[in-house]
Structure 1
Amino acid sequence: MGKTFSFVSGALFGAAAGAIIGVALAPRSGAETRAMAADIANDAWDNMRDTYEHGAEEARAAVNDFGPMLDAKT
């Protein structure tokens, strides 16, 4: 697992660095580049928040289903 984790983390870091460098060197004005970077960051934040909320809802549902199931078994 150590090699796999190292490879995946290196690949993600390389992809992120490549994206940042690509955006930074794009032939746009600074204001356009900053606006685009802000939009990307906001979209990423929204996606992470949505993923967290979805996971929290599923965990809550699993916990709520577990109690009655445990009561029925005992």
Structure 2
Amino acid sequence: MTQDERVYRVVVNDEEQYSIWPADRDLPPGWVADGTEGPRAACLEHVERVWTDMRPRGLRERMGQLG
């Protein structure tokens, strides 16, 4: 199976950081699927749409408290 044929899923961690992961592999600890699966390119497009602030959640919260 080539990379283009493989099915991926979009995953997110507690810090609201996104990644993609092969759908046929167990997720690494600390990551959960967000419900999006498909070809690599489609998953990466989804990540680009939803992950608009690259800062970890904890940093965003701390910066919000300072502002």
Q: Same fold, TM exceeding 0.5?
A: no
When you count strand as a share of all residues, which structure comes out higher? 2
TM-score (norm 1): 0.30
Structure showing greater radius of gyration is 1
When you count helix as a share of all residues, which structure comes out higher? 1
Q: Using CA pairs below 8 Å that are at least 6 residues apart, which structure has the higher relative contact order?
A: 2
TM-score (norm 2): 0.31
